[in-house]
A and B are shown apart, each in its own frame.
Chain A
């Protein structure tokens, strides 16, 4: 075991627990449990809002997988990753104010709440809830596997033990603290990511003998590594540009992001969050993926992409500092998992149970149910991560693209186009999800684009045409 690296990691986990327990005091004394547990009582300031959005988004896929792919593909992959800068301002500029006004009026706490009040349709709600539960549950299981793998390689314990440690730390603070705890720890984790990637990038540049030296090494090894086209020349402009939708503007439709866009205190917090979020997202993405590319001449021949970050950190820094820096990806995974867990449990309790099973459930029962369902979900995910079924892995591939294809137009047009109605929303969701899964299975890159692009475009037309065609029918009800 690598004790020097474990020590800082444990300290970070203790800080995170402390924050969770501290935050839970608010939840217990609160009069509106739902708002507090799932939304933190709409109390977030600008810094907190920016950090929680960044940390939720900068998940295992971008922190562990991203640098690994950049290591293989070169600067072209950094170019692709920089499409994410847009999320920093776009999400809040598009959803921000309108969402704040509308969700406060509807007293909406989740994205499904908003859709329910906007479209007044049982089918829209149930279809949305189902998509969220299926897609996010799979995404969550995949994140747990990633978290456990990281612990496994960092401290040299077996996978099962690593998974137990990971699961316990996530479950304890998410069940007691709720959204406020998650948002607060996101701020700690976002800050670690910000500083950690900077320190690591500097250490890597020094170890590689300076940027010009590293770049000329890469050029000598394979000139494609310093072009925008990837190591094999396979990253076409159309494909890379598609990521503007998948990880850029499309992010407005991810439920874990939208829930944050309604949780802030006032418009000043939102303005600050736009500025901080843009800078933090861009900074982390640029540094993190450059680390992956620059690691190549220093540590050539790493076969498994996920190992690039831990190995390069241990190579260029003292073990204790590597432990601190590697707490960042750990933190990223944990915060993603936490918010997904809360989201799935809020979908079950609030959107399904309270809407259709027992609308008059007493306060205490709802509270008890929320906490226990969150815990039960955690346990189920744990067992799935122990021995992951193929179905989960398959569904996870579709998770983010599928949610974007389902929700982007029902949310955006629901906010900005008064003629949109429930028929349009349903048509758009079914078109989006259906075409996405079909296209991804049978035509992986239509017209050289990523498979999420066409479903998003077609579901727009489905929404508009069906809404217009059913104006009379919708008005008659």
Chain B
């Protein structure tokens, strides 16, 4: 590989590593949100449950709102932080 290729390689790796770490970060956030609301609000007696839109609050916050929040986070992160990189060989395949 030439020096230019090596530099490009290093750059691509840096981008890929950073985005993988972001993925792990979102997954951890997703897990905490999901777990905390489900078992934080859901472990009391069902007769003491509060309700949002007719659903038990634990379920609404954990599964419905959680899903919406994660979707927004994913959209935001991809639009803001994900870099478009050219892949090698694309010209060959066309």
Using CB atoms and an 8 Å cutoff, list the residues of chain A in contact with chain B: 41-42, 75, 78-79, 82-83, 85-86, 88-90, 93-94, 96-98, 100-101, 104-105, 210-215, 219, 223-224, 226-229, 237, 241, 244, 248-249, 266-268, 271, 274-275, 278-279, 282-283, 286, 416
Whether A94 lies near B84 (C-beta < 8 A) is: no
- Chain B contacts with A in 50-86, Cβ cutoff 8 A: 51, 53-56, 58-59, 62-64, 66-67, 70-71, 74-75, 78, 82-86
Whether B54 lies near A89 (C-beta < 8 A) is: no
* Residues A75 and B59 in contact in the complex (CB < 8 Å), given A241-B35, A244-B31, A278-B74: yes
Q: Mark B22-58, 1 if CB is under 8 A from A, else 0.
A: 1110110011001100110011011101010111101
* Residues in A whose Cβ lies below 8 Å from that of B35: 237, 241
Whether A275 lies near B78 (C-beta < 8 A) is: yes
Chain A nearest CB from B13 CB (Å) reads 8
Whether B47 lies near A223 (C-beta < 8 A) is: yes
Main SS at interface, chain B? helix
8 A-B contact pairs sorted by A residue (CB < 8 Å): A85-B67, A88-B74, A104-B89, A223-B46, A241-B35, A271-B84, A278-B74, A286-B63
* Residues A79 and B63 in contact in the complex (CB < 8 Å), given A210-B54, A215-B51: yes
| Bound-state Cα–Cα, A41 to B93, Å | 8
Whether B20 lies near A282 (C-beta < 8 A) is: no
Whether A78 lies near B63 (C-beta < 8 A) is: yes
Chain A nearest CB from B5 CB (Å) reads 10
Chain B nearest CB from A260 CB (Å) reads 16
Among candidates B20, B46, B86, residue contacting A227 with C-beta atoms closer than 8 Å: B46
| Bound-state Cα–Cα, A214 to B62, Å | 19
Question: Considering residues A82, A98, A104, A244, which has the most beta carbons from chain B within 10 angstroms of its beta carbon?
Answer: A82
* Residues in A whose Cβ lies below 8 Å from that of B46: 219, 223-224, 226-227
| Residue of B with least CB distance to A107 | B89
Whether A286 lies near B64 (C-beta < 8 A) is: yes
Whether B38 lies near A79 (C-beta < 8 A) is: yes
Whether B87 lies near A101 (C-beta < 8 A) is: yes
Using CB atoms and an 8 Å cutoff, list the residues of chain B in contact with chain A: 12-13, 15-17, 19-20, 22-24, 26-27, 30-31, 34-35, 38-39, 42-43, 45-47, 49, 51, 53-56, 58-59, 62-64, 66-67, 70-71, 74-75, 78, 82-90, 93
| Residue of A with least CB distance to B15 | A97
* Residues in A whose Cβ lies below 8 Å from that of B19: 93, 96-97
Whether A89 lies near B23 (C-beta < 8 A) is: yes
Whether A279 lies near B71 (C-beta < 8 A) is: yes
Chain B nearest CB from A83 CB (Å) reads 7
Among candidates B45, B56, B66, B88, residue contacting A101 with C-beta atoms closer than 8 Å: B88
Among candidates B12, B56, B85, B87, residue contacting A75 with C-beta atoms closer than 8 Å: B56
| Bound-state Cα–Cα, A377 to B62, Å | 43
* Residues in A whose Cβ lies below 8 Å from that of B84: 266-268, 271
* Residues A101 and B71 in contact in the complex (CB < 8 Å), given A41-B93, A268-B84, A416-B17: no
| Residue of B with least CB distance to A91 | B23
* Residues in B whose Cβ lies below 8 Å from that of A75: 56, 59
Whether B54 lies near A212 (C-beta < 8 A) is: yes
| Bound-state Cα–Cα, A224 to B42, Å | 11
Whether A78 lies near B59 (C-beta < 8 A) is: yes
Chain B nearest CB from A408 CB (Å) reads 14
* Residues A93 and B20 in contact in the complex (CB < 8 Å), given A85-B30, A226-B56, A249-B27: yes
| Bound-state Cα–Cα, A215 to B66, Å | 20
Whether B56 lies near A215 (C-beta < 8 A) is: yes
Whether A275 lies near B87 (C-beta < 8 A) is: no
* Residues in A whose Cβ lies below 8 Å from that of B53: 211
Chain A to chain B: the 3 pairs with minimum beta-carbon distance, closest first: A93-B23, A211-B54, A212-B54
| Bound-state Cα–Cα, A268 to B30, Å | 24
Question: Considering residues A78, A229, A267, which has the most beta carbons from chain B within 10 angstroms of its beta carbon?
Answer: A267
Whether A282 lies near B39 (C-beta < 8 A) is: no
Whether A42 lies near B93 (C-beta < 8 A) is: yes
Question: Considering residues B45, B55, B64, B87, which has the most beta carbons from chain A within 10 angstroms of its beta carbon?
Answer: B87
